[in-house]
């Protein structure tokens, strides 16, 4: 009896169990839009995974399924080894402290009728006023900001409030859904630095969602590139940036300006033709083929699976030849 209990208490997962594990995640909205179609990845404790792709490719939907604002159509989400895919809101309560979210629009994510104190303390009032003030100071705000309303803040300050709110429960994982995209370039760096400092200090893991690769470059240990609801390339940030294997990754990278003007002047630029197709009617075969410079016959009928190529996973039939 005792051994059974012990076995239950200590989950039967290896030491290196990832903090977050997502398998074959899919979301089909009413009307048949397959916004996310079989996405899988892991996020380890203290790590940052970047999730990058054009607008509408399903990044936010993925993030919202992970924090369970949405219930996935299929697939699983494991947090600390626990399957949370279909837990009810009430069952999720104890886990709300573990995973949090920072939203894109700092203003629309703060209730205009609540004070900062109310917002940071949260619906369950997990923090007292003193703790709220302590947190505000940690994210670079002043104690007197506690009694202000969101519209009295600049975008950068409002996003700091959003960060303080996410930290209130002492989370292990924070989904940052384009957390800096809406901010001025000058403020972006400050917020990103704050996020990195907090990560080191508190051992946080981030799922860092962005629509271009330049933002995630400095913060991510690994990067996943999404196209039309699927991951087309996922691997360590360093190799993905220096040697992208998927034609789509290369196109995204070529849109990122290089600091050195000499390289900037001569570097190859791949312009993506047209807009991404609608997720309601994805092209057959490789869904990237209408826009891919390397597309062959085979690409129009046969969907490429994710497979190991040069130390990462790539979904392209010609990933080896295209380097």
Partner 1 sequence: MAGLVVVLTLVLLAALAPVITAWTGWAPETFDKTAIDPNMGGLPKGAWGGIDTEHLLGVEPVTGRDVLSRILYGGRISLLIAMLATAITVVTGLVLGLLAGFLGGWADTMISRITDLLMSFPSLIFMIAILSVVRDVNRIVLLVAVLSIFGWTVVARIVRGQVLTIKHREYVEAARVGGGMTGYILVKEILPGLTAPILVYATQAVPAYVGAEAALSFLGVGVRPPTPSWGQMINNARGWFMTDPVYLAVPCAFLGLTVLACTLLGDGLRDAFDPKAVRS
Ligand X SMILES: Nc1ncnc2c1ncn2[C@@H]1O[C@H](COP(=O)(O)OP(=O)(O)OP(=O)(O)O)[C@@H](O)[C@H]1O
By the criterion CB under 6 A, which residues form the site for ligand SF4?
A: 247, 286, 288-289, 292, 294-295, 299, 304, 316-318
Among 96, 148, 188, 202, binds partner 1 (CB under 8 A): 96
Regarding 62 and contact with Mg ion (CB under 5 A), the answer is no
Regarding 165 and contact with partner 1 (CB under 8 A), the answer is yes
Regarding 157 and contact with Mg ion (CB under 5 A), the answer is no
Q: Is the sign of the CA dihedral 9, 10, 13, 15 positive or negative?
A: positive
Residue-wise burial string across 277-307, b where 16 or more C-beta atoms lie within 10 A, e elsewhere: bebeebeebbbbbebbebbeeebeeeebebe
Regarding 111 and contact with partner 1 (CB under 8 A), the answer is yes
Closer CB to partner 1, 11 or 128, in the complex: 128
Instruction: Record the tokens describing residue 84, joined without a space.
Output: 């949370």
Closer CB to ligand X, 62 or 80, in the complex: 62
Can you tell me the distance from the alpha carbon of 50 to that of 213, in angstroms, rounded to the nearest whole number?
9
Among 33, 255, 270, 294, binds ligand X (CB under 6 A): 33
**Per-residue interface string for the shown chain with Mg ion, residues 11-50, x marking contact by CB under 5 A:** ----------------------------------------
Can you tell me the distance from the alpha carbon of 259 to that of 193, in angstroms, rounded to the nearest whole number?
19
Closest CA to 251 of 316, 186, 309: 316
Can you tell me the distance from the alpha carbon of 227 to that of 108, in angstroms, rounded to the nearest whole number?
27
Rounded to the nearest whole angstrom, what is the least distance from the CB of residue 195 to Mg ion in the complex? 18
Distance, CA of 143 to chain centre: 31
Regarding 29 and contact with ligand X (CB under 6 A), the answer is yes
Rounded to the nearest whole angstrom, what is the least distance from the CB of residue 182 to partner 1 in the complex? 11
**Per-residue interface string for the shown chain with ligand X, residues 260-299, x marking contact by CB under 6 A:** -------------------x--------------------
CA neighbours closer than 13 Å in the CB half-sphere of residue 240: 31
Q: What is the CA radius of gyration of the chain?
A: 21
Regarding 55 and contact with ligand X (CB under 6 A), the answer is yes
Can you tell me the distance from the alpha carbon of 209 to that of 221, in angstroms, rounded to the nearest whole number?
13
Residue 271 burial (C-beta neighbours within 10 Å; 0-12, 13-18, 19+): exposed
Rounded to the nearest whole angstrom, what is the least distance from the CB of residue 292 to ligand SF4 in the complex? 3
> In the complex, which residues of this chain contact Mg ion (CB under 5 A)?
60
> In the complex, which residues of this chain contact partner 1 (CB under 8 A)?
64, 67, 69, 89-90, 92-93, 96-97, 99-101, 103-105, 108-114, 122-124, 151, 162, 165, 168-169
> In the complex, which residues of this chain contact ligand X (CB under 6 A)?
29, 33, 35, 53, 55-61, 211, 279
């Amino acid at each position: 009896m005792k051994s059974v209990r012990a076995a239950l208490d200590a989950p039967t997962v290896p030491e290196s169990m990832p903090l977050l594990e997502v398998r074959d995640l899919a979301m089909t909205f009413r009307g048949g839009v397959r916004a996310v179609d079989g996405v899988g990845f892991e996020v380890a404790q203290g790590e940052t995974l970047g999730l990058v792709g054009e607008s509408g490719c399903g990044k936010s939907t993925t993030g919202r399924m992970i924090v369970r604002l949405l219930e996935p159509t299929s697939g699983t989400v494991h947090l600390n080894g626990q399957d949370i895919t279909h837990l009810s809101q009430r069952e999720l309560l104890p886990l709300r402290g573990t995973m949090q979210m920072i939203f894109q629009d700092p203003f629309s994510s703060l209730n205009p009728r609540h004070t900062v104190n109310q917002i940071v303390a949260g619906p369950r009032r997990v923090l007292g006023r003193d703790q709220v003030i302590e947190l505000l100071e940690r994210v670079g705000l002043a104690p007197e900001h506690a009694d202000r309303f969101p519209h009295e803040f600049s975008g950068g300050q409002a996003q700091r409030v959003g960060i303080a709110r996410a930290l209130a429960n002492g989370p292990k994982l924070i989904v940052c859904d384009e957390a800096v995209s809406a901010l001025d370039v000058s403020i972006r760096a400050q917020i990103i630095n704050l996020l990195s400092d907090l990560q080191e200090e508190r051992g946080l893991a981030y799922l860092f969602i962005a629509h271009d690769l330049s933002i995630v470059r400095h913060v991510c240990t690994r990067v996943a590139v999404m196209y039309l609801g699927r991951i087309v390339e996922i691997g360590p940030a360093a190799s993905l940036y220096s040697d992208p294997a998927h034609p789509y990754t290369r196109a995204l990278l070529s849109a990122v300006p290089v600091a050195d003007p000499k390289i900037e002047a001569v570097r190859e630029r791949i312009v993506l033709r047209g807009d991404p197709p609608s997720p309601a009617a994805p092209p057959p075969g490789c869904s990237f083929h209408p826009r891919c410079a390397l597309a062959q016959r085979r690409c129009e009928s046969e969907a490429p699976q994710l497979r190991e190529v040069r130390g990462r996973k790539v979904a392209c039939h010609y990933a080896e030849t295209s380097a």
